[in-house]
Amino acid sequence: MKNIILLITLTIASLSCKAQNTINRDEITINGHVIIGENKSVLISNFGQPLEIEKGYSEMDEVDMYIYKYDGAVFYVMKNLIDSFSIIGSEYSLTKHDIKIGDNIEKLKDIFPLSYEKKNKTNLSLSIINPDYKFFGFSFNEDNKIKSMSVGSY
C-alpha cells in the first residue's frame, strides 16, 4: 500500500513539474550560420576581422581561450573551436525564427513555450542538446525587449 501511495505521489509530482525547452546546437544560428562547436575560421569568414582578439584563460576548462570581439558580439574560442557567445547588437539574427535584440520577449512565447512559461523577470533560458552543460539564454529589460542573447556553460 505504501508503494502505491508513493508511486501515485511521484507520478503527480512529475506531471506537475514544468519542463524546459531544449535546442540542438545546429539550430542556434547567427545570421544563418551554425557557430557553436565550429572552427574559429567560421567567425572571420562570416563576420569579417574582429575589432580585437583578447587572450584569456578558462579556469573551468583549464585551457587558454581567445575572445573575439565584434561590434555587438563577443565569441569565446577554446582549442580553436567556438565555445560560447554573447550578442548585444541588433544586426545579428538568431535561429530560423529571426530573433533579434530589441524584439519583444512575446516573440519567444510560441517558439519556446515551456521556457517562456518558466522565465523570470529578466531571463529566459533553454538547455542545449549536444553539447551538454550549455544553455541558450535571453535577457530582457522592464519593457520586455530582448537586450542580450547568449550561449554559455552551466
Phi and psi based region of residue 48 (left: phi greater than 0; alpha: psi -120 to 50; beta: remaining): left
Describe the strand order of the beta sheet including 63-70 as a list of residue ranges. 22-24, 123-129, 134-140, 146-153, 81-87, 73-78, 63-70, 52-58
pTM comes to 0.84
**CATH 3.40.33.10 is right for the domain spanning 18-153:** yes
What is the DSSP code string of 96-116? TTTB-TT-BTTHHHHHSHHHH
Tens-digit pLDDT profile for residues 74-117? 999 999 999 999 999 999 999 999 999 999 999 999 999 999 99
